[in-house]
Chains A and B, each alone.
Chain A
Amino acid sequence: EADIYQTPRYLVIGTGKKITLECSQTMGHDKMYWYQQDPGMELHLIHYSYGVNSTEKGDLSSESTVSRIRTEHFPLTLESARPSHTSQYLCASSTIDSNQPQHFGDGTRLSIL
């Protein structure tokens, strides 16, 4: 089993709040990713990082921001949550070898009221 952890697992919160979703991995992976997934749908990449102090926007535009100050930690922040942000957010990590798979956390299911 992969050692990648996301907290919280579920979050229900009101509009306008600042939210930080946590993601940590203990595998020493350089690459980390955030995906957004609506129920029954495909995953969309919203942010990725190739290492410390490296962050890039993914293919799906997102109002969230990320940081990568430590190798093992890749938090995602929403400064002012809106109902349109309601979704599941999945974090993943991998080695720099693209012929190795990504390892996923169990996700955070976010509901904005």
Chain B
Amino acid sequence: SQQGEEDPQALSIQEGENATMNCSYKTSINNLQWYRQNSGRGLVHLILIRSNEREKHSGRLRVTLDTSKKSSSLLITASRAADTASYFCATDANNQGGKLIFGQGTELSVKP
């Protein structure tokens, strides 16, 4: 079974709007990571949030983590057409030796 599940599966917004993606997981974690994947490319790391952190920012990105609900969200503010990509959450579960388990991803389309 998947450790990480994301919703929505697809999201289409206009430039300038905010985009929120959610990730839920099942077991206790060491950290949760968000990655971005442009079509036909590899993944690029965005933000890592540790289990003892609740919120992290990086530029226009804000990640929250609620370990009691086993969920995380990624907010992209003031979106741009260049933000169009797939976004994946990945969990580093405890006692898994640093292996990541990826969610199915959210496909974000930002229309100019």
Q: Are A106 and B45 in contact (CB under 8 A)?
A: no
Instruction: Flag whether B80 is at the interface (Cβ < 8 A).
Output: no
Q: Are B44 and A104 in contact (CB under 8 A)?
A: yes
Q: Are B100 and A42 in contact (CB under 8 A)?
A: no
Q: On chain B, which size bracket covers the interface?
A: 20 to 34
Best-surrounded residue of A42, A48, A94 (most CB of chain B within 10 A): A42
Given contacts A98-B98, A101-B48, contact A41 B104 (CB under 8 A): yes
Point out the residues of chain B lying under 8 angstroms from A99, CB to CB: 30-31, 48, 50, 92
- Chain B nearest CB, measured from A72 CB (Å): 17
Q: Which of B4, B86, B88, B98 contacts A31 (CB 8 A)?
A: B98
Binds A, one of B14-22, B35-43, B57-65, B66-74: B35-43
Q: Look across to chain B and name the residue whose beta carbon is closest to the beta carbon of A45.
A: B99
Best-surrounded residue of A99, A103, A105 (most CB of chain B within 10 A): A99
- In the complex, how many residue pairs between chain A and chain B have their CB atoms under 8 Å apart? 67
Interface residues of A in 20-66 (CB under 8 A from B): 31, 33, 35, 40-45, 48, 50, 58-59
Q: Are B98 and A94 in contact (CB under 8 A)?
A: yes
Q: How far is the CA of A109 from the CA of B43 in the complex (A)?
A: 14
Best-surrounded residue of B2, B35, B43, B44 (most CB of chain A within 10 A): B43
What is the number of residues of chain A that contact chain B, defined by CB distance less than 8 Å? 30
Point out the residues of chain B lying under 8 angstroms from A59, CB to CB: 99, 101
Q: Which of B31, B44, B105 contacts A42 (CB 8 A)?
A: B105
19 further A-B contacts with Cβ under 8 Å, apart from A96-B98, A98-B92, A107-B42, are: A4-B42, A6-B42, A40-B107, A42-B4, A42-B105, A43-B43, A92-B42, A94-B98, A98-B31, A98-B97, A99-B31, A101-B33, A102-B45, A104-B35, A104-B43, A104-B44, A106-B40, A106-B41, A109-B40
Measuring CB to CB, which residues of chain B are less than 8 angstroms from any residue of chain A? Answer: 2, 4, 30-31, 33, 35, 40-45, 48, 50, 86, 88, 92, 97-105, 107
Chosen A-B contacts, 15 in total, with CB atoms closer than 8 Å, are A6-B42, A33-B99, A35-B102, A40-B105, A40-B107, A41-B104, A42-B104, A59-B99, A59-B101, A92-B42, A92-B43, A96-B98, A99-B31, A102-B43, A103-B45
